[in-house]
Structure 1
Amino acid sequence: MRNIFYVCFTVLGLVIFQLGVYGQKTAGQLTKSPASQSEELSPDYKTIKATAWNDSTLATGVVWKHYHFSNLFASNQFVNVLDVNLSVAEIAIDIPHVTEGFIKTSQAALDNGATAAINGSYFNTTAGGSTVFFRKNGIIVKNTEEGFTHYRENGAFAITRENSPAIIKRPSSGWESADSETILSSGPLLIYGNEIIEQEQTAFNLNRHPRTAIGITANNHIIAVVVDGRNAQSQGMNIEELSILMKALGCVEALNMDGGGSSTMWINNKGVVNHPSDNKLFDNEGERGVATIITFKGNYHK
């Protein structure tokens, strides 16, 4: 009888735990993470805040920063950051794309005359083209494919009708009801309302990978980040680590974009500046073709 009671108690405990982790979430809900209450006290948050970044001004209002950490989240991490001041009127933001097949971030950026660029959102790795909701200048390019994982498109990088970039969350009635002229959905949302979001406990979120993210700060800057991964020189980040990084960089809203072998940052006159992982080497040559790219164009510094 004692053994039966112990087994029942254990099973009940597991059920309660599962309800605690999953029971309060639906596809449309966001829950503040316990990490949001403590990240500013964490050693890694403080390390990021205190970092003396290697930085270069690429154009008026566009700064590129990078750093190779030797002990961030107890690991090597190579991080590239674009800091784009949205108060500078001359900066133009675009999302070049292909509806089928693939285009490399570097090629799309060159074709667009960009100052800098990062890869965009998820795509069909066989046929190409986006797999998530994408509306550009009021025209729907792609609806989310049926069965796509809900938390991987619970947010979006958007350009409002007032031509202001924003990070938005998916409306309960779906993306088509969102008001913004341009919407590139992705996910998961990392930070919303200045709070880190609690994530589902999935391999995608818990494992370290190369990551791309984009966020907005309180003082109206875009922060675009690429973290290298899958290499001893840079192990990559899980979603919680990425959230802490974006919070330490000042973001009050932030969104995970497509990562893994897609993660790429390109700079005019420098080329690919991160270390894309597709060729399994820690160099700049492993770039993958994607479907969407986010570009930033400003007045060049000579």
Structure 2
Amino acid sequence: MKKTVALLLLPALLLAGCSKDDVTPDTAPPVVVAPQTLEEQLANADWETTEVSKAVTWKYKRFNNLFNSNQSITILDIDLNAEGAKVDIPYVTSGFLKTSEGAARARATAAINGSFFDTSAGGSTVFFKKNGNIINTTRSGFTTYRENAGFAIGADGAVAVIKKPTQGWSSLSAVPTLLASGPLLVLNDAPVEQVQEAFNSNRHPRTAVGVTEANHLIAVVVDGRFTEAHGMTTEEVARLMHALCCVEAMNLDGGGSSTAWVRNRGVVNYPSDNNKFDHAGERGVATVITFMEE
């Protein structure tokens, strides 16, 4: 009996023998992981990276939580400082030219689709000048915010993204080659506020191009209209281009036109024109921006 009582009292004795000072409460605040900035997300991502040539680097990444969405992004980084680096714009005035066809004709290293075009007859619907000759002027009634930026190539081959002057594109007589498009995304190293219209605020496949302070041309194709790739608004693309160090950037034709091509690999993004998440849905366009080395 005494043995039974002792066993019953043992837990109480043990508890009584423990002072409050022996128990250290966990007063440390919970660890809160700060959300990554867009720049950090891009910098920390495990990009598939291929050095296509001395001047051209191709990168690809699928994100499952960029802008709270699924995103499929192709980047072409062209070092314009590299010897022989050159940018050109093959085009057609009627009918259609696929990005891959324009690139092959130019013997390009890489290429992206250009600006807006007539989907019935072909040819550009926005201002386009090549080697001093005006090929097209912007069609009457064309939405102004979709042609407020210009992709310019100077006589010395220098590339720039410029804002449309008040006097219009024809006033830039000193610029021999210029392709209008829009909206303007980044200007003077700051994202540009976007007009709140469906073209801008809905998510679509997008193609954009920009230049950095270090004289790199950054061409980006964002896939869209798929479960795997939701596409972006122009505000999101503007933030993306700025996060990629572009001090000036502009939107090009998007939707089913958005295409990125790399030599010896073909179309490397996922064009949406065939409604399949594959590389076969390329659409014919009117202008193509090619990157090559002489």
Tell whether 2:81 aligns with 1:107: no
Tell whether 2:68 aligns with 1:74: yes
Partner of residue 137 from structure 1, selected from 131, 135, 140: 131
Q: Which runs of 5+ in 1 are unaligned?
A: 1-40
Normalising by structure 2, report the TM-score: 0.86
Aligned residue number for residue 121 of structure 2: 127
Tell whether 2:74 aligns with 1:44: no
Tell whether 2:112 aligns with 1:118: yes
For residues 170 and 117 of structure 1, what CA distance do their matches in structure 2 show?
A: 24
1:218-264 CA deviation, whole Å, 9 max, x = no partner?
Answer: 10000000000000000000011101110111100000000000000
For residues 160 and 169 of structure 1, what CA distance do their matches in structure 2 show?
A: 15
For residues 162 and 136 of structure 2, what CA distance do their matches in structure 1 show?
A: 18
Offset of 1:90 from its aligned partner?
Answer: 1.0
Offset of 1:89 from its aligned partner?
Answer: 2.4
1:159-199 CA deviation, whole Å, 9 max, x = no partner?
Answer: 12332000011110010011311000000000000011111
SS in 2 for 1:128: coil
Partner of residue 55 from structure 1, selected from 49, 53, 59: 49
Partner of residue 255 from structure 1, selected from 250, 256, 263: 250
Of stretches 43-52 and 174-183 in structure 1, the one that deviates more from structure 2 is: 43-52
For residues 255 and 248 of structure 2, what CA distance do their matches in structure 1 show?
A: 22
**8 Å CA contact retained: 2:87, 2:157:** no
Aligned residue number for residue 8 of structure 1: none
Aligned residue number for residue 153 of structure 2: 159
For residues 50 and 156 of structure 1, what CA distance do their matches in structure 2 show?
A: 32
**8 Å CA contact retained: 1:62, 1:298:** no
After superposition, residues 1-302 of structure 1 pair within 5 angstroms as: 43-178=37-172, 179-298=174-293
For residues 131 and 101 of structure 2, what CA distance do their matches in structure 1 show?
A: 22
1:195-218 CA deviation, whole Å, 9 max, x = no partner?
Answer: 111111000000000000000001
Return the letter of the residue paired with 2:212.
T
**8 Å CA contact retained: 1:130, 1:142:** yes
For residues 176 and 89 of structure 1, what CA distance do their matches in structure 2 show?
A: 31
**8 Å CA contact retained: 2:86, 2:157:** no
Offset of 1:136 from its aligned partner?
Answer: 0.5
Offset of 1:92 from its aligned partner?
Answer: 1.7
For residues 90 and 55 of structure 1, what CA distance do their matches in structure 2 show?
A: 22
Structural RMSD (CA): 1.2
For residues 161 and 92 of structure 1, what CA distance do their matches in structure 2 show?
A: 12
Aligned length: 259
1:54-101 CA deviation, whole Å, 9 max, x = no partner?
Answer: 111111111001101111011110100000001112112110000001
SS in 2 for 1:140: strand
**8 Å CA contact retained: 1:45, 1:244:** no
Q: Which runs of 5+ in 2 are unaligned?
A: 1-34
**8 Å CA contact retained: 1:134, 1:183:** yes
Offset of 1:42 from its aligned partner?
Answer: 6.7
Aligned residues with identical type, % of pairs: 54
Offset of 1:294 from its aligned partner?
Answer: 0.2
Return the letter of the residue paired with 2:158.
S
For residues 239 and 156 of structure 1, what CA distance do their matches in structure 2 show?
A: 16
Runs of 4+ in 1 over 6 A off after TM superposition: none
For residues 201 and 38 of structure 2, what CA distance do their matches in structure 1 show?
A: 17
Return the letter of the residue paired with 2:127.
F
For residues 48 and 230 of structure 1, what CA distance do their matches in structure 2 show?
A: 22
SS in 1 for 2:228: coil
